[in-house]
Amino acid sequence: MKKTKIFLLVLVIVMVTSVFAGCGKSVNSENGSSNQVDTEQKKIKSASEYGVTLNKTSVVFTDARGKKVTIKKNLKRVVCLYNSYLDIWDSCGGKVIGRVQEAEEKPVKNAESAQVVGTPGSPSLEKILALKPDLVIATDEFKNQAAMVPVLEQNNIQVIALANTYLKDYYMTLRLFSGITGREDLYKEHIDEVKKNVDKIITETPKDKKYKVLIIFATAKDITVRNSHSMLGEMLKDLHTVNISDAEANSSEAKVFSMEKIIQENPDFIFVQTMGSDKEKIMEKLKEDVEDNPAWNSLSAVKNKRYIILPKDLYLYKPNARYAEAYEGLAKILYPHVFNKTN
């Protein structure tokens, strides 16, 4: 009888121990599952950068229209309508089947065999549709491209419509394109290199000079000015200069060339951007509207040989991976005692 009681007691202890052990496994299992979910959530969170979210099979961002767009990854049939974007797409390992005409100063690399579908300002919708693309990369800088976007979407073609004016836009585009191509290695390589070098230049720039600058934008037909709300304007602002056109930044008159205003402000540096293939006519227009003015030679920038016509490849077209080179070029002009130490 005693043996039977002892046996039953042992059996009860074994059963109770098993129940608690099972509960322990269940709790651990639940904790493990919870930890795994937390880890995945952290991964998703860390994949959101510069307004771009990377998912397993897609990339989500807000385009130039303010519209939230989802683009599938690893698309093969791509048409790019803006060569500055094509430059970034190529650096992210992307290939294209269609592109627009290239500029002499901004040759297209690794896309020579792609079909030309027109110019950036006037691409052919018919030629684009004939290529049956999965994706079209466009810019909001040209009205014809902006008008084409809804039509492409109606034909079930994914569209990336971008505005790329500032340095942060380059970082965002780099994040977006590398996410689509799946080349995280190239993203890290470019973002680390460009950001590190640009930040270093800005950090080393003297903050006490506050040089006054003027940006002249010259074509064969017109002379205007640019304020800090432009690619070159942002770079000069980052380098701690004062753009004399910023006083009227919220006015439509901000881009109007005024010799009276320039004489009044007397800038320390004048930088010229030129646009157009006829260099001779552009220089004639500059001479006629600017340099022939009797007061021109009295300006500090002119007298001190600080009237500089900038190269197009870095200061008209998007410098992209060469942003640090563009910043350094300006820094050497503005602060030679700091940035020309080895010269």
Strand 48-49 and strand 98-99: pairing? unpaired
What's the one-letter identity of residue 199? D
Instruction: Render pLDDT for 264-306 as a digit per residue (tens, 0 to 9).
Output: 999 999 999 999 888 999 999 999 999 999 999 999 999 999 9
Instruction: Render pLDDT for 154-198 as a digit per residue (tens, 0 to 9).
Output: 999 999 999 989 999 999 999 999 999 999 999 999 999 999 999
Beta bridge partners of 137: 80, 160
Q: For residue 19, report the phi and psi dihedrals to the nearest 5 degrees.
A: -65, -45
313 CB-near residues (< 8 Å, 6+ apart): 105, 106, 319, 322
Cα–chain center distance at 81: 16
| Average pLDDT value for residue range 297-319 | 95
Single pTM value for the model = 0.82
- How many Cβ atoms from other residues are within 10 Å of residue 44's Cβ? 13
Judged on CB neighbours under 10 Å (0-12, 13-18, 19+), 77 is: middle
Instruction: Render pLDDT for 42-77 as a digit per residue (tens, 0 to 9).
Output: 444 446 899 999 999 999 999 999 999 999 999 999
Per-residue model confidence (pLDDT) at position 255: 72
| Residues constituting the chain | 343
Strand 68-72 and strand 78-80: pairing? unpaired
Instruction: Render pLDDT for 102-160 as a digit per residue (tens, 0 to 9).
Output: 887 778 888 989 999 999 999 999 999 999 999 999 999 899 999 999 999 999 999 99
